[in-house]
Amino acid sequence: MKTGLVLLREQAGHETGSHPENAKRFPGVVERLGNDSREHGLPILDSRPAEVEDLLRAHTESHVENVRVAAESGPTWLDGDTVASPQSYEVALRSAGAALVAADAVSGPDRSADSMFAIVRPPGHHATADRAMGFCLFSNAAVAARYARESLGIDRVAVLDWDVHHGNGTQDILYDDPSVLFVSFHQWPLYPGSGWIDEVGVGEGRGFTVNLPMPPGSGDREHLEGFQAIAGPILDQFDPGLLIVSAGQDGHVADQLASQNLTAAGYGALARASAEFAAGKGIGLVALHEGGYNPETLPLLDHAVYAGLGGFTPDLTGDTPAPEVGDNGWPERLAQIRRAQSVYWPI
């Protein structure tokens, strides 16, 4: 499985100060994954700015303009968590554009890889059609999904989100769209408070949103069981022409913004399962960086994801071990999810 990187070299221009989502997150990641790329002969591509028309496939015109104006006069707080500084609009265009570069690389006429991992900020999965929130300005995954359909001619696109926070923005934009399947693993309860089992889509999109709200303390075993029992079978039946992964590594045991117990090995296993699914379907995979806020552990976690995508053996030395967790209600939760989704999918 040939993978590669898309880098947003201008990421530091999105200045957020001491905010958890800051420019110090990625230098160590870029160094480590760059070494992986050189060792395994994997391509490294640069991002490009998305066009406004690319954003308008997922966002309202007023939202795009509001972000531009806020950045121009910044620093401006768009909500209690989300700031725009003078270069944020241009960086956000390149963050979304990196998703498009990745989509072209794995699904375009000059396909050069099976998967691409885009290391981008600001992240995107909390941005709704008309609102910036949760550190996010534009929904990179939704923009890429609509681009794949309208510019690359892909009939069905799947978005798999394993960030520890629910991807409410991606869900919001795609909620009535039967051509894009949205599957989300996330801790429940946790910010932003959405993503319960009964959120399954509306109108023609009913049944094409799949939420797996994970109990606190869930780790590698629970997430992989959820993939094998729910996400994988539904993805298989949906039969997408492209898989987009919102890859947030903030469910790691050493990340302080949540209370999950995933390890680097777990993230590698999720990435490998996703890559093997895509390879089995003969389709491309685009991984877009979302959360992950511990700069000490993030290079290792992203290395594990990259290795999972590319099928090479990661070096997981130094990972934080997960604690032993008793019964956190996961078997009952899994049964609830299965009952809710069996209305739409024979699982």
Give the pairing of strands 180-187 and 83-84: unpaired
Distance CA 172, CA 332 (A): 27
Which residues lie below 8 Å from residue 153, measured CB to CB, with a gap of 6+?
A: none
| 126 annotated active-site | yes
CB distance 161 to 248 below 8 Å: yes
Q: What is the DSSP string of 22-58?
A: -GGGSHHHHHHHHHHHHHHT--EEE--PPPHHHHTTT
For residues 41 and 13, give the distance between their C-alpha atoms in angstroms, rounded to a whole number: 29
Please state, as a whole number, how many other Cβ atoms lie within 10 Å of the Cβ of residue 273: 18
Q: State how far the alpha carbon of 125 is from the alpha carbons of 29, 105, 141, in Å.
A: 20, 22, 7
Which residue among the candidates 126, 165, 223, 303 is catalytic per the annotation? 126
- Cα separations (Å) of 24 from 27, 58, 68, 214? 6, 29, 24, 29
d(CA 118, CA 140): 10
* Positions marked active-site: 126
